[in-house]
Structure 1
C-alpha cells in the first residue's frame, strides 16, 4: 500500500509541471492583429477580426515555447467594404483557396528583461517564409500580454499579384503589429 501511495505521489508531482505548461488560448477580445501598408504612398491601416492561437510560454524557459497562430484572412477589416472585397479575391489573399494564414514559432529566445524574439515559418496563400519578430511580455492581474511587430514583404507571399505587384501603387512592405493577452 505504501508503495502504491508513493507511486501516486510521484506521478502527481511529475504532472504539476505539465499542467503548468498546458497550452493557453489567446483572449481574443483583448488582443489584436493590425497592419499598415502604403497605397500610393498613403498609409492604409487594417486589422483581422478573427484569429486563434495556442501558446505554451514560460518566460524563464523561452526556448521551450510552443506557439501556433492562425488568422482568418476573410475577417480583414480595412474600414472600406470595397477594399475588403478586393482583399479576399484571388490576386490578393485568395481566401476561397487559402482561408487562413499560419505562424508557428520554431524558436524563441530572450533578448533582455521581458524582451524576446520568435522565429518561425509564416504561411500565407500557400507560400511559407521564415520570419523573426521581437516582442515584449508583461504580466499583470493574472494575464500575460505579448506585444510586438514585424515587417513583411507582401510580394514574397504573392499578395497583390499582376497589376497590383507594382510597388509604386502598393508598397511591398507591410508592418504587422500584434498584441496577445493570455491567462497565466
Structure 2
C-alpha cells in the first residue's frame, strides 16, 4: 500500500507557491540600480507575483483545515518540532512577506498604482508613512528567511526519503506513488528553472547597454538626463471641431476681429505625442483626446490664432500603471489640473512651408512662453500640418519630490504632432 498522500489541491498549491517563491527571490535581487524603465517593469512584476503568492498561501492555509492531512512521520521529538517550526515559518514568510511589500507600496512617497499582471487593480492599504521603514526591514528579512527555510525544508525531505528510508516525497510529489527519484529530479529542475527565469527575466542593465549600438553623442547632448518617468509619442485621436470655450473679457475684442477669418476643423486620426528620456532611453507616449480652435491664413498671419486644449487624463504610454502615475500628483496632477492649453497669436513664416507659432503653454497650474515649429501644406480647403516643440518639464513642476531631479528623467520633453484639417469652402 502506498504512502498516505496530500490532496491534489494541496499538492497543486504547494508546487505553485514553490515555483513562484523561487522566481520571486531571484527577481528580488534584480530590484536595484538606477531608476529606469527596466527597473520600473521589474517592480511591477515583483508586486504582481507577491500578491499571487499571498492569495495562494491563504488558499493553502485554508486547505490545511478543510482536507485531512497525512499523519506526521515518526521520529525524535526534536525533528518533529523542527519540522513544525519550519512549516509555520514558511507560512509566515508567504503571508508576511507579501503583506509588508504591500505596505511598502502603500506608504511610498510616490503612489504608483498596482495592477496585478497589468490587468487587475489592487488597492493601497490605508496606513500612514510611519509604517514604511519597519515594513522595509521586515520585507528584506523575509527574503533571507525564505532562503534558509527552503534549504532546511529540502534537507529534511531528503533526509527522510533516503537516510531514513521513509516515503516522504511520495506524499507531496505529483504522480510519485512509487519510486520518487525521477520525480524528485524533475521537481528540483522545475524549482531551479523558476529561479533562473526570475534572474534572467530582465537582463542586467549594463549588459543590455553594451549590447546596444552606441547612440550619437549629439542625441544625449540634445536631451539632458532626468528623473524617472515613462513617455511615448504616438498617434492620437483629437476631438474634431473647434472648441466651444467662451473667450475671456480680454480676448473678446480679438475674437471679434477674427470672425471674418475662416476656421479650420481638425480631422480624426491626428497625432499628439511626446518623447522623454529616462536614463538615456527614449520613452514615448501620446494623448488620446485633444481639441483645437484654429483660425489661420498664410496671407493674414497677423490675425491668425491657434488654441489647443489637451485632456491630460488621456495620456497613453502603453503601460497602465505608468499612465496612472503620470496622472497622479507627482506629475500631471490631473485631479487639480485636468487640461493643458497652448495658445498662440504670434505666428511667423520662416521659409517655404515652415512656420513658427509663439505663445504660451499652461500646464499643471504654471504658464510659460512656448514656441512650436510646424510645416503646412494647403491644397484648396484641405491642409496637412506636422510640427515639433520642446518643453522643460521642470518649468511646469511636472515631476515632484524624487522625480524633480533631472539625473534620471531628462528635463527636456519633445512634443510631436501631425494632423489634417479642413476649412469651409469660400
Same fold by TM-score, threshold 0.5 exceeded?
yes
Tell which deviates more after alignment, 113-122 or 142-151: 142-151
Correspondence list, 1:111-130, <5 A: 111-130=350-369
Find out whether 1:74 has 2:313 as its counterpart. yes
Aligned to 1:51: 290
C-alpha deviations, 1:99-133, integer Å up to 9, x for none? 00001112001111221110001000010000111
C-alpha deviations, 1:48-98, integer Å up to 9, x for none? 000000100001222221211000000001010111010000010000000
Distance 2:418 2:359 in 1: 18
C-alpha deviations, 1:143-175, integer Å up to 9, x for none? 211211011110000001111012121111000
- Point out the structure with the larger strand share: 1
User: Shift of the alpha carbon at 1:24?
Assistant: 2.3
Relative contact order, higher structure (CA 8 A, sep 6+): 1
User: Shift of the alpha carbon at 1:41?
Assistant: 1.2
3-state DSSP of counterpart to 1:96 = coil
Alignment match of 1:22 (pick from 247, 253, 262): 262
The root-mean-square deviation of aligned C-alpha atoms, in Å, is 1.5
Count of residue pairs the alignment pairs up: 166
Distance 1:51 1:18 in 2: 23
Question: Is the CA contact 1:147–1:179 (under 8 Å) kept in the aligned structure 2?
Answer: yes
3-state DSSP of counterpart to 2:402 = helix
3-state DSSP of counterpart to 1:58 = coil
Distance 2:265 2:336 in 1: 26
3-state DSSP of counterpart to 1:166 = coil
Tell which deviates more after alignment, 30-39 or 68-77: 30-39
Find out whether 1:92 has 2:341 as its counterpart. no
User: Shift of the alpha carbon at 1:139?
Assistant: 2.1
Aligned to 1:134: 373
Question: Is the CA contact 1:92–1:161 (under 8 Å) kept in the aligned structure 2?
Answer: yes
Distance 1:141 1:44 in 2: 37
Larger radius of gyration: 2
Aligned to 1:161: 400
Q: Please report the TM-score for the alignment, with normalisation by the length of structure 1.
A: 0.85
Q: Please report the TM-score for the alignment, with normalisation by the length of structure 2.
A: 0.38
Question: Is the CA contact 1:106–1:121 (under 8 Å) kept in the aligned structure 2?
Answer: no
Question: Is the CA contact 1:25–1:52 (under 8 Å) kept in the aligned structure 2?
Answer: no
3-state DSSP of counterpart to 1:43 = strand
Question: Is the CA contact 2:347–2:358 (under 8 Å) kept in the aligned structure 1?
Answer: yes
C-alpha deviations, 1:2-34, integer Å up to 9, x for none? xxxxxxxxxxxxxxx955x2322322x231111
Aligned to 1:179: 418
Distance 1:88 1:25 in 2: 28
Distance 1:78 1:129 in 2: 25
3-state DSSP of counterpart to 1:92 = coil
Distance 1:121 1:150 in 2: 12
Q: Any gaps of 5 or more consecutive residues in structure 1?
A: 1-16
Aligned to 1:9: none
Which 4+ stretches in 1 moved above 4 angstroms? none
User: Shift of the alpha carbon at 1:141?
Assistant: 6.9
Distance 1:124 1:106 in 2: 18
3-state DSSP of counterpart to 2:334 = coil
Distance 1:72 1:18 in 2: 26
Question: Is the CA contact 1:152–1:173 (under 8 Å) kept in the aligned structure 2?
Answer: yes
